[in-house]
């Protein structure tokens, strides 16, 4: 087996801050399509990764079980699987379970992967409580059961990821057999954590999945804040805290994608000071309440759930992001060239402003105008 440290950093002792590649594609009409174009786009950015991690999240792939939570779980031992299944059967109705079809890559580190379509045995008055119950189960498996890792837990969606280039993961999971109306993808160049199957992107909590290019220097503060909210950060990677912040802010606390962006990529205080009274009060409250979730450092992310796809960069755009549309299709990518490879003639193509989310919802295309200006009145007065 190759020495992972040498593959990760062939340049000796100097730390390598490399690129990573992210790509997202959505059909806002809800029509499902294959992942062939996503793979083509990712392979065009192969130099941004080094084969130590890649993955895909796909929405709309389980129409036969749309209301059950689809747990994708990696096992590295028989005992891990049996303990997990006993744990699930105590807490959930398991409507369907099966090994996920895979093709071997011929490597010793390949896990066995199963999927379980579950619903809670406990009755709830609201979907929020049900989501909290299922999220707690996923977190408990990941933190307490050895040799088992839940890497996907949403409804009518699935994450497929591991150690390899995007083409390797596409082949391993036989993704040519799936179709979805949203695909997001990632190719990883890990800089701070050892490459392993569960540590690849996307990171997922329930319906929410995220792919990330960059490095959060605020990881420690972000992790400390999230652990006060009940999250167990076991992966020691900054993208894990980004995924949990998405879950906390947008699912549990009900913030809009725009307000989520104003927490993790917060306006400068000079901008807040120049806002009108209502906006100033709102942003002071956001900074006071969620200061521990301000994300410092370079990042570009693509986030998805069953109803939308969103792209966002840090405030000063230290990582690249390009957006495009063609008909009902929306594209987010690290490079414009990859978008044009699969859609040469675009209706729109643009670079969004740092800290401003680009949001594509079912039935709604984003526009360049929606993501090139901040949404508060003081924008024009702030020096750029």
Active site residues: 20
Query: Residue 158 burial (CB < 10 Å; 0-12/13-18/19+)?
Result: buried
What is the DSSP-derived secondary structure letter of residue 253?
S
**Distance between CA 198 and CA 18 in Å, rounded?**
20
CA atoms lying within 13 Å on the CB side of residue 2:
14
**Distance between CA 115 and CA 70 in Å, rounded?**
6
CA atoms lying within 13 Å on the CB side of residue 125:
0
Q: Which residue has the tokens 């498996």?
A: 141
| Nearest one of 25, 64, 63, 56 to 173, comparing CA atoms | 56
Query: Residue 105 burial (CB < 10 Å; 0-12/13-18/19+)?
Result: middle
**Distance between CA 84 and CA 114 in Å, rounded?**
11
CB 225 within 8 A of CB 292: yes
CA torsion angle 234 128 279 351 (round to 10): 60
CA distances from 170 to 173, 196, 310 (A): 6, 17, 23
The runs of H, that is alpha helices, within the chain are 4-8, 36-43, 78-91, 127-144, 166-172, 219-228, 238-246, 257-264, 269-273, 277-290, 336-342
CB 191 within 8 A of CB 243: no
Coil, helix or strand at residue 303: strand
């Amino acid at each position: 087996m190759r020495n992972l440290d040498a593959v990760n950093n062939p340049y000796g002792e100097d730390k390598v801050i490399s690129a990573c590649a992210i790509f997202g594609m959505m059909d806002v009409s809800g029509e499902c399509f294959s992942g062939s174009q996503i793979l083509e786009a990712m392979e065009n950015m192969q130099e941004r990764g080094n084969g130590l991690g890649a993955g895909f999240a796909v929405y709309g792939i389980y129409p036969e079980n749309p209301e059950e939570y689809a747990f994708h779980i990696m096992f590295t031992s028989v005992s891990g699987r049996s303990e997990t299944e006993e744990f699930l059967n105590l807490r959930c109705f398991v409507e369907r379970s099966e090994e996920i079809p895979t093709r071997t890559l011929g490597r010793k580190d390949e896990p066995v992967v199963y999927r379980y379509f579950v619903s809670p045995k406990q009755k709830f008055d609201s979907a929020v409580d049900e989501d909290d119950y299922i999220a707690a189960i996923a977190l408990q498996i990941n933190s307490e059961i050895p040799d088992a890792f839940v890497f996907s837990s949403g409804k009518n969606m699935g994450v497929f990821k591991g150690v390899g280039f995007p083409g390797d993961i596409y082949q391993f999971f036989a993704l040519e057999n799936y179709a979805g109306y949203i695909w997001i993808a990632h190719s990883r160049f890990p800089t701070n954590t050892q490459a392993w199957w569960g540590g690849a992107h996307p990171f997922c909590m329930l319906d929410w999945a995220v792919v990330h290019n960059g490095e959060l220097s605020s990881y420690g503060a972000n992790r400390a804040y999230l652990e006060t909210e009940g999250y167990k950060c076991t992966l020691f990677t900054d993208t894990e805290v980004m995924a949990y912040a998405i879950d906390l802010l947008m699912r549990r606390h009900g913030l809009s994608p725009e307000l989520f962006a104003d927490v993790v990529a917060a306006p400068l205080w000079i901008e807040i000071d120049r806002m009108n009274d209502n906006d100033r009060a709102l942003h002071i409250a956001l900074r006071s309440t969620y200061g521990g979730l301000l994300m410092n450092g370079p990042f570009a992310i693509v986030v998805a759930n069953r109803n939308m796809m969103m792209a966002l960069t840090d405030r000063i755009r230290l990582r690249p992001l390009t957006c495009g549309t063609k008909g009902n299709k929306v594209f987010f990518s690290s490079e414009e060239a990859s978008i044009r490879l699969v859609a040469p003639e675009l209706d729109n193509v643009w670079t969004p402003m740092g800290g401003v989310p680009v949001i594509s919802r079912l039935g709604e295309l984003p526009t360049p105008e929606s993501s090139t200006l901040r949404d508060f009145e003081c924008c024009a007065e702030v020096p750029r």
